[in-house]
Structure 1
Amino acid sequence: MHGATPLGNTGVIPDPVGSATAVVDSRGIVTGWSSGAERLLGHPYQEVMGRPAVGLLGPGEDVEQGLPAALAGRSRVVSLRHRDGRRVAARLRAYPSCDGEGNAQYVVLATVPERTQPDSATTEDAFAQCHLPVMVFDSGLRALRASAGAARELGFSEEQMQGRRITEILPPHACRTVEDGMRRVFETGDFEQFLVRGTARPDSRERAWSVAVSPIRARSGRVRHVQLSALDVSEQHLARERLALLNDISTQVGRTLDVTRTAQEMADVTVGRLADFVTVDLLDSLFRGVEPRPTATSTVALRRVAHQSVLPGAPEAVIPQGEVDHYPQSTPPARCLATGRPSLHRTIDEAIRNWQTSDPERSAVVKSFGIHSVMVIPLSARGLTLGVAVLVRHQRPDPFDEDDLLLAQEIGARAAVAVDNARRYTLEHTTALTLQRSLLPRRIAGQDAVEAAYRYLPARTRAGLGGDWFDVIPLSGARVALVVGDVVGHGLRASATMGRLRTAVRTLADVDLPADELLTHLDDLVTHLTAEEDSAVEPEFDLDISTGLIATCLYLVYDPVTCRCTAATAGHPPPAVVTPDGAANFVDVPPGPPLGVGGLPFETVEWELPPGSLLTLYTDGLIEGHAHDPGNGLTLLRRFLERPVFSLDALCDDLIHTLLPTQPQDDVALLVARTRAFDASQVTTWDVPSDPAAVAGTRAQVLERLADWRLHDLAFTVELVVSELVTNAIRYGRPPVQLRLIRDTSLICEVSDGSSTAPHLRRARTFDEGGRGLLLVAQLTQRWGTRHRADGKTIWAELDITDA
């Protein structure tokens, strides 16, 4: 190098051609750098010249032992640093020499293990005999080489495929994906892998291929060709598809607890992935609430609940959804129902041919669409066979096999559980709704105190119905009680409790208890019911934490004679009042504890209402929801009530549609009432002196009033009743005594006094001179009773004036 003369006992320096050599002076500075050294370590000549040679040693290499040992004439394997940072192991040996000026220097030779040159014949044989489909394409996407595996799968020899594009080799449906992948590899130089599903040739079955496209580069780095290899992953892909299908059946079927929707979800998930057409038929008896039982009839009635097809509109369907079809016992669906076992058929099977013979319409569909494979699957859950699913193929050329039958069985089993859950939920929900509607008033009782309208809207959630209720109860003296309540919880328990409370409220209202006393008795009843339920539950079955029975209630009494309202609440939202001038407000009723909590008293509030005022009673479901909290709900309710009202029924509908979502989360009971006032001509009141002699004069006044009202036919009866009641009040009561006649839908006679002692009806003995007065009153009137007040009592009796 540079005319250097070799020194030492090593003889002539080895030929540097193809070797990595460098020249290092006595100070360890690089003064010469061959092209072989540049190829070995990647450093160009300009970067290395004039720099210390130790900088070429790899990280961690012993500087004192590495290069100096080689310069001392000893051969040594050291780690060198490549320009890109990696390590290169090489054996160094130095040969001393002199440069042109006679200065000492060293020629350092780096050698690496020689690589075995590939045997071109072996490489060629390996490619040609490769059992995997492997092909090489040029930049024009034309085939250059093809392995034996490619020739076997594609049905062409290598010579037949050379020079042809992939579109001329593969069926059309797979060409675009493969060609697009090869084109991207040519453009980006990046490896790509994708899944192709289809047939490699027209006469083969559909398979899944994992296709890999990798670049083949020239020494310059440019992509010259691409290599395409394919691996048959049909079994793995099919297994993943089946697992995915079962997972989708578990997650997507049965989300709504609706029988029809659940069956349709099964058909939607299955079609296109396992079958081309799916029908789901359930026993017609299920929709009538009858448990399926074996029958000896010649046909089986099945209702088409759902069907789905890969073709728009499901043209293969013979039976419309919702219709009932009768299957003969010899048909596969009927046998599947009877045995509970699935079956797999080709359309050439005898069972299918017999079915087509007995059903020409289905036979025409089979021929028209080319149906070739059929599976019939029972839908069985909890020991009951609910129906059958029929799966059909006519677009896919492959028939169903035994693995498909096992998969369909699993799908049917999971779907059947979802359908049965929906069926049971629907039955329970219908039962609870029927029970609740039977416990609610079917129509408002006749009375003249208010004009009323109501709405009841059950919750549309899986939790089931709640315990909301309302009632309109006619009271004595032409008064009326408006009641709204809500039992906490859902389901049959809440509905049953609601019925018991509504009955109790009616019973307590019939004895004319004040609002606060009525709620007190109702609270005691709820406490007793809770104790009874807790004692009735066996400890080993009491797995749930008992929260007791808790309910809210608002009890309001309106008197059309005095136009006054009295109300008490047990943890219930306040009533809204809209006066005739259009102002809406909520009544400040003293809050009481919910029923069943106990410990605190109930208080009443009394106020006067102008005639024509609007009372609105409701449960919390009306003002609570996802869109607003109770506070905002009350604000919205008040704003809405301030609008003009054309009819009470329209008002109820507008409130429901405005304040509630499409799917309310809780039951809603709504009761609106417009108050009426009795005209002065309908009510007459007399103050009666506390003297038995005054009874005669009172009777005369009553007869005169009856004449004005044209109730002559009732004169004798009313005279007897008034005489008895007034006489008892004077004899056994305390002053002041007052008589009041009210003409309503009936004639009401009321006698009040200052005593709180209530009379009792008793049967007089044969020789008793008294004791027959109240018995006589009870016989002559429709009903009678006692109403207690803070300052005494009122004995009242009602007489029918329909025929008068």
Structure 2
Amino acid sequence: MSRAKQPPERAADPEKAASDPSGLMDLLGVAAVLVEADGRIDMWSPQAEELFGYTGDEAVGQYAAILLLHPEDREAGMGLFAEVMETGRHWAGPFPVRLKDGSTRIIEFRNMRLTDSLGDHYALGLATDRATVRQVERKVALSSQLVTQAPIGLSVLDTQLRYVAVNGALASMHGVPEADHVGRHFREILPGAPFTTAENQMLEVLETGRPMVDEQVVGRTRADPDNDHAWAVSLYRLEDHGGHVLGIASVVVDVTDRYEAARQAERAQQRLRLMADGSARIGTTLEVERTAQELADVLVPDLADMIAVDILDSVLRTGRPDRGEGPALFRALAVKTAYPTAASDAIIAPGHLATYHADHPAAHCFRTRKPLLITHLDSGDLSRIAADDAAAGLLAEAGVHTDMAVPLIARGEIIGVMGLARARNPQPFDEDDLTLACELASSAALSIDNAVLHQHIRSAAETLQRSLLPQPSPRRPGLEIAARYRPAQAFSEVGGDWYDVLPLSGDRTALAVGDVMGSGIPAATAMGRLRTATSTLADLDLAPSRILTHLDRITQGLDPFIATCVYAVYDPHHSRLHVACAGHLPPVLVRDGRPPELLDLPTGTPLGVGSGPFETAALTMNPGDQLVLYTDGLVETRDDPIDQRLDDLLRLLSPPCRSAEETCDLLLRQLRGPADHDDVALLIARARPLAGL
């Protein structure tokens, strides 16, 4: 129910007030009896009929003592009556009365003398059942004790949500004296935004009569304006004996301890979730930048509103931290914010270099190797965590109010720093947050260091690999040649794929593509030895099958490596191609005017297995035809069937015909993915008319 449904205030309506009496008198059943000076009953109310059992006709004119008292009580009763009539002092108390049915009931009396205009005296007796009075007294006493002494907050509000009464416990919770509550509206006492919902709930209870039990409200009051408190609030609509709405009763229990315990438990669970999430998501690859970004993705927004991950530039360049003179030089690797914010422009963008002033948290971490927690930042402190005054202004605009910096330490060496901040999240970082950040940073630092180490090893292997591969001339007698080598992506090691173009006598050209099964520098070295051996054997002018036989013996000495290979010799004078295969995927021959085809060659066994002879196949290769040699990294994936991938290769090689260079680029662009895990060697030879013929 919205506040708009609140009934308007208006002046009391005397006529309506007369028609809506309090139900307390009805609850007590107060009877009125008027007795003349001689003791005769002169008036008898309907409540007296109900209380004593006699009708008015039966009672009026009778002596009260004879009608209502047992013989043994009459003397005492008449004495009390005489005293009231003689002295004018009222008398109150319980007295046993005989009812019409002969039973006895203890009646609570209030007797007083009345005098009419003629000076005659009468006795007015007000009576009610003593048991009923005691019951009401007990309830009132209990309510009074609860209101004044209970540690829970109690209040009564009218239908306009103005306080009618509060107890001391609630006044202490609100930080407002009891007297200052009375007559003031609920929102005057509790103006904060968290209490808007509570106000609407009160109006709903007033309207529907359905109680609201144990609803939690979290907010701040004048009693403790700097800290949140939690209360369990129950609301009940109050009605009188006739069902008329009087207002709202509110019962408030301070459950801050329970609330804080639940928050601590939730934070502990969150930390466990973050640790589990970090273990699963950080270090999934051997890419430095991606690992840093994974760390940022885990911590934002669950722990921080913004994060920056910086690595020492010397670590990226050399694999080792440089702790020389002068400020440390960092390279930003990852930045993330939980939402669009001006603070993004205050953070060094990924890929850029930066140095930090001596008071900056990153510089502190680099010097001390210890984390730094700043629970509260005012406007003057922002320059401490900002790169410059302009950045400090942006952080202030974004509302950054707490910060921490955590060193990234791997194998005993500091390799970088992680900075975290909060702006929209109002809670400052605490020691638990710092501990969690340090644990995740420690794990991430090792993954980043492993990625850096792998990157340097991979770079060395790739350099070695490329240095061992030839740079073939695009022209050979009767051939247009194009070749490509693509290493595996950053998270995989360089393999042993190679290609070669070897000139032979009589304008012939030897073409070779091979793949050493392995990775890293050892595989690249084995590849270099096989390529050297192939070049040496080619000078002997042997058939392709004999070349592979000799390479098989050489590879057996390269244990534990084995390799696959295709070796072909093209003779432009006779347009003949002789080719042999050792466990390698079949080459593709693209004939002018015909669909591309996979050559049906005797497969042979891989080099190094030593289990059988190799065979040479001969076929015609006319001008315009293309021979495509490739390693399995071009067509094999972890998700797609090899037959489907080979079909894709043939489809891409279908007309229109392209140059060898264009065909190389097309195949790599269409068949290679950004995360492919294997090297590719690709060699394309297109037959051309032999000059002078």
Matched, 1:232 2:232: no
Residues 1:439 and 2:468 are matched in the alignment: yes
2:95 matched to which residue of 1? none
- Output the amino acid matched with 2:634: L
- Evaluate the alpha carbon distance shift between residue 598 and residue 158 of structure 1 in structure 2; reply closer, same or farther with a 3 A threshold: farther
1:308 matches 2:331: no
Find out whether 1:260 has 2:289 as its counterpart: yes
Specify which of 383, 386, 404 is matched with residue 375 of structure 1: 404
- Aligned with residue 647 of structure 1, among 643, 659, 663: 659
Amino acid in structure 2 at the alignment position of 1:232: Y
Correspondence list, 1:71-470, <5 A: 120=139, 121-122=141-142, 125=145, 131=151, 152-155=172-175, 160=181, 169=190, 171-173=192-194, 175-176=196-197, 199=220, 204-205=225-226, 207=228, 230=255, 231-233=258-260, 234-297=263-326, 299-310=327-338, 312-315=340-343, 317=346, 319-329=348-358, 331-345=360-374, 355=384, 359-365=388-394, 368=397, 371-395=400-424, 399-444=428-473, 447-460=476-489, 462-470=491-499
Deviation at 1:384, TM superposition (A): 1.2
- Residue 552 of structure 2, aligned match among 523, 533, 551: 523
d(CA) in 2 for partners of 1:290, 1:657: 32
> CA distance change for structure 1 residues 189 and 353 in 2, over 3 Å: closer, same or farther?
closer
Cα separation, partners in 2 of 1:407 and 1:523, compared to 1, 3 Å: same
Query: C-alpha distance in 1, partners of 2:155/2:534?
Result: 88
Q: Find the residue that maps to 1:634 and give its secondary structure.
A: helix
Q: Once the 2 structures are TM-superposed, how far is the Cα of residue 290 of structure 1 from its aligned partner?
A: 4.1
Q: Is 1:347–1:371's contact at 8 Å kept on the other side of the alignment? A: no
Q: In terms of mean alpha carbon deviation, does 363-372 or 644-653 score higher?
A: 363-372
CA–CA distance in structure 1, aligned partners of residues 308 and 635 of structure 2: 44
CA distance in 2, matches of 1:615, 1:490: 27
Provide the residue aligned with 1:513 in structure 2.
542
User: Structure 1 residues 569 and 156, CA, compared in 2 at 3 Å: closer, same or farther?
Assistant: farther
C-alpha contact (below 8 Å) 1:625/1:660 kept by paired residues: no
Cα distance in structure 1, aligned partners of 2:380 and 2:389: 15
**Count of residue pairs the alignment pairs up:** 544
Query: Matches of 2:215 and 2:466 in 1, distance apart?
Result: 61
Residues 568 and 577, structure 2, Cα contact 8 Å, conserved in 1: yes
Secondary structure (helix, strand or coil) at the match of 1:434 reads helix
Q: CA deviation at 1:416?
A: 2.0
Structure 2, unaligned runs of 5 or more: 1-134
Q: 1:208: how far off?
A: 8.1
The alpha-carbon deviation at position 266 of structure 1 amounts to 3.1
Alignment pair present for 1:636 and 2:656: no
Write the deviation string for residues 164-203 of structure 1: whole angstroms up to 9, x where unpaired. 6689737325755996899799999899989877656796
Per-residue deviation, 1:319? 3.3
Aligned with 1:529: secondary structure?
coil
Q: Deviations over 1:586-608 (max 9, x none)?
A: 22211201112222111111122
What is the rounded CA distance, in whole Å, between the counterparts of 1:244 and 1:625 in structure 2?
Answer: 33
Q: Deviations over 1:101-154 (max 9, x none)?
A: xxxxxxxxxxxxxxx999755577457756567889999999999887665445
Q: Compute the displacement of 1:512 (Å).
A: 2.0
Report if aligned partners of 1:208, 1:237 keep a CA contact under 8 Å in 2: no
Asked if the contact 1:563/1:677 (under 8 Å) is kept, the reply is no
Match of 1:675 in 2: 687
2:586 aligns with one of 556, 574, 582: 574
Residues 356 and 387, structure 2, Cα contact 8 Å, conserved in 1: no
% same residue: 36
Distance 1:211 1:186 in 2: 21
Q: Is the 8 A contact 2:545 2:615 kept in 1?
A: yes
Counterpart-to-counterpart distance in 2, 1:564 and 1:132? 102
- Deviation sequence 1:505-533 (CA, Å, 0-9, x none): 22221222221111111111121111xxx
Q: Tell me how far 1:555 sits from its aligned partner.
A: 0.7
- In structure 1, distance between residues paired with 2:557 and 2:361: 58
1:382, distance to aligned residue in structure 2 (A): 1.1
1:226–1:470 Cα change, 3 Å? farther
Once residues 641 and 358 of structure 1 are traced to their aligned partners in structure 2, the CA distance between those partners, rounded to angstroms, is 55
Report if the CA contact (8 A) 1:141-1:179 is conserved: no
For 2:394 and 2:145, locate their aligned partners in 1 and report how far apart those are by CA, in whole Å: 55
Q: Which amino acid aligns with 2:656?
A: P
Following the alignment from structure 2 to structure 1, what is the Cα–Cα distance between the partners of residues 155 and 554?
87
2:529 is equivalent to residue 500 of structure 1: yes
CA distance in 2, matches of 1:255, 1:315: 29
Q: CA deviation at 1:557?
A: 0.8
Paired residues of 1:185 and 1:191 also in contact (CA < 8 A): no
2:683 paired with 1:656? no
Q: Secondary structure at the match of 1:652?
A: helix
Q: Give the aligned partner of residue 616 of structure 2.
A: 604
Closer/same/farther in 2, CA of residues 677 and 646 from structure 1, 3 Å limit: closer
1:363–1:471 CA distance, 2 compared to 1 (3 A)? same
Q: Is the 8 A contact 2:362 2:405 kept in 1?
A: yes
Q: 2: distance between equivalents of 1:430 and 1:378?
A: 27
Q: Which moved more, 1:650-659 or 1:508-517?
A: 650-659
Counterparts in 2 of 1:515 and 1:379: CA distance versus 1, 3 Å: same
2-side partners of 1:390 and 1:576: how far apart? 54
Unaligned runs of 5+ in 1: 1-115, 531-547, 683-804
Give the Å deviation of 1:663.
2.7
Change (3 A) 1:131 1:418: farther
Contact 2:170 2:252 in 1 (8 A): no
- The answer for the alignment partner of 2:603 in structure 1 is 591
Cα pair distance change 1:497/1:140, threshold 3 Å: farther
Tell me how far apart the structure 1 counterparts of residues 155 and 403 of structure 2 sit (CA, whole Å): 40
Partner SS state of residue 476, structure 2:
coil
Residues 587 and 460 of structure 1, relative CA distance in 2, 3 Å threshold: same
Normalised TM-score (structure 2): 0.66
CA distance in 2 between partners of 1:265 and 1:118 (Å): 70
**TM-score, normalisation: structure 1:** 0.58
Does the C-alpha gap of structure 1 residues 225 and 177 become closer, same or farther in structure 2, counting only changes over 3 Å? closer
Counterpart pick for 1:556 among 528, 545, 568: 568
Post-superposition offset of 1:641: 1.9
Q: Which has the higher contact order (CA 8 A, sep 6+)?
A: 2
Q: CA deviation at 1:364?
A: 4.1
Separation (CA, whole Å) in 2 of partners of 1:278 and 1:572: 49
- Give the counterpart letter for 1:652 in structure 2: C
Instruction: Label 1:309 to 1:196 Cα distance change in 2 as closer, same or farther (>3 A).
Output: farther
Amino acid at match of 2:627: L
For residue 354 of structure 1, report the CA deviation from its aligned partner: 8.9
How is 1:457-496 mapped onto 2 (pairs within 5 angstroms)? 457-460=486-489, 462-496=491-525
Q: Name the amino acid aligned to 2:444.
A: A
CA root-mean-square deviation: 4.5
How far is 1:580 from its partner?
1.7
Is the contact made by 2:504 and 2:539 (CA closer than 8 Å) also made in structure 1?
yes
* 1:397-418 CA-partner distances (Å, limit 9, x unpaired): 5544444433333343233223
Q: 1:616 — aligned with what?
A: 628
List per-residue Cα deviations over 1:650-690 (Å, max 9, x = no partner): 222222333344432432222211113436x56xxxxxxxx
CA contact (8 A) 2:623 2:688 kept: yes
2:577 to 559, 565, 573: 565
CA distance in 1, matches of 2:153, 2:388: 49
Q: Deviations over 1:447-482 (max 9, x none)?
A: 223111123333337343332222211112211111
